[in-house]
Structure 1
């Protein structure tokens, strides 16, 4: 029996699963649309929606908490500016955090929840896994 076991394991260890969700959340925030399996999309939805709610708060503490929902990448928060190449791009996690607090928080300031939607695509040809699109609602596309 699986009493009080709330989340899917996705066939991974807990650290691998957390890393997978952080990677998916980073890609979803940056691209605003993601094609993945249905089970991963269902696990990703509450993960991303908590991050958007933190983005709507907008204070420094919420920004630091929301940073845990994304991978910082190679340069991270404590990067040595002397070691960085001149004009190097932000890593994906830092760019996703900035987009979350600037763009998405303003877009969903009046919405109380339900920032994402999941659309089923059917099964994948190779292994028969159910595919789905997870995307933000009210996008400008």
Structure 2
């Protein structure tokens, strides 16, 4: 039974999964759109949504919380430049996942996750 088990494991250890989410979030903030597998896109979507919600208010505490999640000052600064203007009046739903179809090499379902 999966009682109280939240999120996908993605076949990785906790540390590897945390690093994967961090790298995906940094890439999404820097490029506004990334192509990845559907499972990874679905796994990182709640994390980036929470991060954007934190970044909507530009306070020192919010910046420190975002930096603890991202570990990249460049990405954190970029997030705090566009998040308050683009998402200030929006109550969620900051990202969109679009399915692309299977990858040629191994047949993994691919998707594009982008900031709206």
1:58 positional shift: 1.1
1:106 positional shift: 1.3
The aligned counterpart of 1:100 is: 79
The aligned counterpart of 1:56 is: 56
The aligned counterpart of 1:88 is: none
1:63 positional shift: 0.6
Q: Spell out the pairing of 1:1-141 with structure 2 (5 A cutoff).
A: 1-71=1-71, 93-137=72-116
Superposed structure 1 runs of 4+ greater than 3 Å apart: none
5+ residue gaps in structure 1? 72-92
Distance 1:22 1:50 in 2: 13
TM-score when normalising by structure 2? 0.97
State which structure, 1 or 2, has the greater radius of gyration over its C-alpha atoms: 1
CA RMSD of aligned residues (A): 0.8
1:57 positional shift: 1.6
TM-score when normalising by structure 1? 0.80
1:104 positional shift: 2.2
5+ residue gaps in structure 2? none
SS in 2 for 1:57: coil
Distance 1:2 1:18 in 2: 21
Q: Is the 8 A contact 1:25 1:69 kept in 2?
A: no
SS in 1 for 2:56: helix
